[in-house]
Amino acid sequence: MNRNRFILFTLFITGSIFFHGLALSMAASVAKNLDDILSEIDKANTAFKTLKADVTFTRTITLLESTETSQGEMHYKKPKRLYLKFQPPRNEINIVDGKYVWVYHPAEKQVEKYEMDKSKQSSQGLSFFEFGYGESVESAKKDYKITLLEAKEVGKKRFYILDLVPKEPKSQYSNIRLWVEDGFWLPDKIELYESEGEVVNIIELKNIKLNKGMSDKLFTFKVPRGVEVIEPFQ
């Protein structure tokens, strides 16, 4: 079950989200240091309310020389609402309704259910995803040591790569890297390192659309007939 939790907790992290067609008045000023970048992230975070994007998720296990890539779609709405659907090979649906986290596996006819307030793992994941997408920078600083690794040019875009090291020693991730686009000031790529880099998870978002109408019904999970509900922390 742990292999299925991390993507949702990450991504309710994260997450990574936003750029083309941005109709928000965010100045594309060049940030020169970490404080400037974090200040711009806070401003951008305040401006957005909903997000829709295509997702590519890649998980690499270096010791096994194994890589799996899945495509999907994501919908996010403040506060703490997430719908994340992956096609095979992952083939799962993740829903966060504000109270519970649901990880649904249609092929296995099982759904994992986590209560957000009681699950330390889900709370930690939410804290990460909400960094830049709900929680303030000051809140993120309480959970992570944040440093600026480098500024990198990719095509015509400039990205600031931030490294987040969890202050909690038993964190699932040894470190997290956010690729924050200059002028957009929110991540569109997240790298998550488990077991000191032995497992690397990369989440990329494309075709991002912000502040579009989004029904709350999308974030409601109704258990299908014949599906077993598993509650790991009960």
Concatenated DSSP letters of 18-68: --TT--S----PPP-SHHHHHHHHHHHHHH--EEEEEEEEEEEETTTTEEE
How much is the pLDDT for 13? Answer: 43
Residue 234 in domain: no
Give CA 217 to chain center in angstroms: 21
Q: What domain range includes position 184?
A: 2-226
How much is the pLDDT for 154? Answer: 92
Residue 233 in domain: no
CA torsion 123-126-128-133 (nearest 10°) is -150
Residue 49 in domain: yes
How much is the pLDDT for 140? Answer: 82
Residue 24 in domain: yes
Q: How far apart are CA 2 and CA 29, in angstroms?
A: 41
Could you report the average pLDDT of every consecutive run of 10 residues in the chain (234 residues)? 51 38 37 86 86 93 93 91 92 92 95 77 45 68 91 93 89 89 89 90 90 92 96 77
Residue 231 in domain: no
Residue 116 in domain: yes
Residue 232 in domain: no
Count of domains observed in the chain: 1
Name residue 14's amino acid. T
Q: How far apart are CA 54 and CA 70, in angstroms?
A: 11
CB contact burial 77-87 (16+ within 10 A = b; e otherwise) = beebbbbbbbe
Residue 22 in domain: yes
Is 167 within 8 Å of 189 (Cβ atoms)?
no
Could you tell me the CATH number of the domain that includes residue 155? 2.50.20.10
Strands 110-115 and 228-230: parallel
How much is the pLDDT for 7? Answer: 53
